[in-house]
Structure 1
Amino acid sequence: MQTTTKDTRETVTVPATVERDMYGEGYDWMESLAGTGWHEVPGWGREGWDLGSWPYIIFAAAKTEDEPGQLFGYTTYVEGDVTARWYRSCEARNLAISKEAFWYWASGQADGPEALEGMNPQEFKQVDGLCEPYIPDFGN
C-alpha cells in the first residue's frame, strides 16, 4: 500500500492496515492483527498508562523498512474506524502517539496520568515520561 509519511512527506510503500471488521468488535480486530506486522500497544509512557480504551479505542504499531531506511507506523481503531499514519523517524511516531494519547486522557476517554485531568485536550503539554513507549519489566 502506498502512503505519505507524516514527518518527511515522502511517498512510501508500507504494509496494509487491517481494516475494520463490520461484524466484530475491537477484540476481534486485535485478533486479526496476528501475522500482519501490526501489534496492539496496551500502555504508553514511562508509567504504562492505558493507551486507548479497549475494545472501543485501540492503538497498534508496526515497523518496516524500505531502501532509504526504517519506517514507523501506528494505527488507531476507534469504534470500528481504522486510521494509519507512517513516519520516517521513531521519535516523530512516538510524539504523534503521545499527542493522540494526551487527547484521549485529557478528554476523559482513557485512563492516563492524573496530572492531565481537567486539561484542554486540544492543548498538548509534555508530561515527564509521556513520549516514550512503555516496556514492562517482567522481572519485577
Structure 2
Amino acid sequence: MNAQHTTKDTSETVTAPTLPADDRWGDGYDWMGTLQGTEWSEMGAWGTDGWDAGSWPYIIFAVATHEDETGPLYGYGTYIEGDTFTRWYRSQDAYNKAVTTDVFWYWKMGQSDGPKDLPETAAELSAEYTTPF
C-alpha cells in the first residue's frame, strides 16, 4: 500500500510503499511472508562480508526502491518484535548511512552477529561495513 512519507534526508513529501504492518498472529518469519508481492524484501546482511543485519525472527530489516516523478527513492524498514517502521531517502548515500547507523547499533549491543573490531561510533566504520551486501 502506498502512502505519503517524508523523506529523512530531504524532508520532501513523497508517495511510496509502506512497510506491511505486523498482523500479531505469528512471528517475524510469518511477517516476512507479508513482504511477498510488495516492493519490499528482507535484508539479511550488511557490509561487504555480509554481517548479520538484525536478528531473525525478532529484528528484521527490509528494503525497497521506488521511482516517483522526481526519481529514485530508497526505503528501509524495520520489524522489531512486531513493531514496524518505514523510512524513505532520496539519496542512496543518505540511505546507506542510515542503514549503517541502525545495523551498527545492533552489532555494538551484541544483538546481531557483527564484526569484532567495531569502533566507538558508526561514523568511524571503515567502508567495508557501510554498504549493502
TM-score range, shorter chain: over 0.9
Q: What RMSD in Å do the two structures reach over aligned CA positions?
A: 1.1
> 3-state SS of the aligned residue for 1:115?
coil
* Sequence identity percentage: 53
Following superposition, the deviation at residue 38 of structure 1 comes to 0.1
Q: Displacement of 1:14 after TM fit?
A: 0.4
**For residue 52 of structure 2, what is the amino acid of its counterpart?**
D
Residue type matched to 2:130 in 1?
A: C
SS at match of 1:62: strand
- Matched-pair contact (CA < 8 Å) for 1:21–1:28: no
Structure 2: how far apart are the matches of 1:39 and 1:57?
Answer: 14
The answer for unaligned runs of 5 or more in structure 1 is 135-140
Structure 1 residue ranges (4+ consecutive) displaced by more than 4 angstroms after TM superposition? none
Matched, 1:82 2:84: yes
Structure 1 length-normalised TM:
0.89
- Which TM-score applies when normalising by structure 2? 0.94
In structure 2, what is the Cα distance between the partners aligned to 1:56 and 1:115?
A: 25
SS for the counterpart of 1:76 is strand
Q: CA deviation at 1:16?
A: 2.2
Q: Which has the higher strand share?
A: 2
Q: Deviations over 1:86-119 (max 9, x none)?
A: 0001111111000000000001111101112xx6
**Equivalent residue pairs, number:** 130
Separation (CA, whole Å) in 1 of partners of 2:127 and 2:68? 33
Question: How many Å separate the matches in 1 of 2:126 and 2:26?
Answer: 35
Partner residue of 1:133?
Answer: 132
Alignment of 1:1-140 (within 5 A): 1-116=3-118, 120=120, 123-124=121-122, 125-134=124-133
**Structure 2 stretches lacking a partner, 5+ long:** none
Deviation per residue, 1:22-78 (Å, 9 max, x gap): 111000010110011100011100110001000000000000011111100000000
Q: What SS is found at the alignment partner of 1:35?
A: coil
CA distance in 2, matches of 1:26, 1:68: 34
Structure 1 residue matching 2:5: 3-state secondary structure = strand
Q: Give 1:8 deviation, angstroms.
A: 0.4
Residue type at the aligned position of 1:128? A
